[in-house]
Amino acid sequence: MSPRDPEHIQREIESSRTQLAATLDELAERVSPRRLADEAKTSATTFLQTPVGMAGIASVVLLIALGVARR
């Protein structure tokens, strides 16, 4: 069987299509809005549980309290 045999070329095309479909499915999953939102939520929750994150929350609460107290 020659490498340029039509059946061989057809099998290569089908293999390429299958690989391309898998790649597109993976890319679609990577940029899924639901997945990105879940990752952002997890990242934010993890950060806010660190000392730096807690200090940031405390700072925001303090600024809000001072703003309310000045009224």
pLDDT in tens, 24-64: 999 999 999 999 999 999 999 999 999 999 999 999 999 99
pLDDT for res 45:
96
Q: What is the dihedral of CA 62, 64, 68, 71, to 10 degrees?
A: 100
pLDDT at 3 over 70: no
pLDDT at 68 over 90: yes
pLDDT in tens, 5-30: 999 999 999 999 999 999 999 999 99
pTM for the full model? 0.55
